[in-house]
Amino acid sequence: MNARFKSLLAAIALIVIASVSYARAHDMDNMDSGTDSGATGAMGQMGAHMKMSDHMTMTESRPMTPADTQRGEQIIAAMRAKLSKYEDYKVAIADGYLPYMESVPQDVYHFANRTATQAEYMGDIDLAHPGSLLYEKKTFGGYRLVGAMYDAPAGDTPEQLDALIPLSLSHWHAHTNICLPNGVTEADVMNGNVAARMRPDISSSVDPDRGRARGAGDSVRMRVGYLADPRFGFTGTISNQAGCEAAGGSFHKQIFGWMIHVYPFASEDLKVAFSLEAP
């Protein structure tokens, strides 16, 4: 498998693993780090909600121009025309868009296409063939198409990203300042080994959510993989090289390339179609 495509899938997997671990640990409402909303934690980095943080770098906004508005409308029109066939997710699968970690509960599911992703990491974006399609799972089975994710090389400048999709419309984002613990590899993520290593959190007999000792009827929260230690990962408390090295981890100033989510079916309003929040 191409190394760049492995990187994309690894990125998706690591973020998915983060979201699942935190969801199980705090009922998908609160993060162990003390934040009061999943929107600022791991689920947010999956694409339902995204915001600037030490672990997420975003391109700066630029003033909107008439030319940008025209380009935005053209982009949305082209995506609707070319991607509407993928409203049937089985057509997407037939065209090589494969769901990643489908059994893991997510707000937004990435269906990644190897060929399209490889092209994007070479700087070639085709609106008709995004690297990933974004789906929400329907209550009674199947998926609903909500958008697409495009990628760009990690070394692209703001001017190069602007040429692909205007920076005045939305923000390209990159995962930055990531500390991975010793022993966690991309191969682990690719093979699902990180998610498989689940264990109860029995470090304390006190339930921190209730402020009392755990009773026999209390559920035991589960941790997944390296998130048993909240210092590590895409939402970890460590976000600098010195702290990472002190913890015995490996520090990554930026992992993977630039990414952008677009929701062409959400609204005629460009602010909604290029929003940082999934519809």
Tell me, yes or no, if the pTM score tops 0.85. Answer: no
pLDDT tens for each residue of the chain, 279 residues long: 555 555 555 555 545 544 443 343 333 333 333 333 333 333 334 445 566 678 889 999 999 999 999 999 999 999 999 999 999 999 999 999 998 778 778 889 999 998 998 899 888 999 999 999 999 999 999 999 999 999 999 899 999 999 999 999 999 999 899 888 887 765 555 554 554 343 443 333 333 334 444 444 443 334 455 556 889 888 889 999 999 999 998 888 887 789 999 999 998 899 999 998 887
Q: Please give the pLDDT value at position 215.
A: 47
Q: Please give the pLDDT value at position 217.
A: 45
Q: Please give the pLDDT value at position 5.
A: 57
CA distance 228 to 221: 11
CA distance 111 to 96: 9
Q: Please give the pLDDT value at position 101.
A: 75
Q: Please give the pLDDT value at position 48.
A: 52
Neighbours of 143 (CB within 10 A): 22
Q: Please give the pLDDT value at position 205.
A: 39
Q: Please give the pLDDT value at position 197.
A: 42
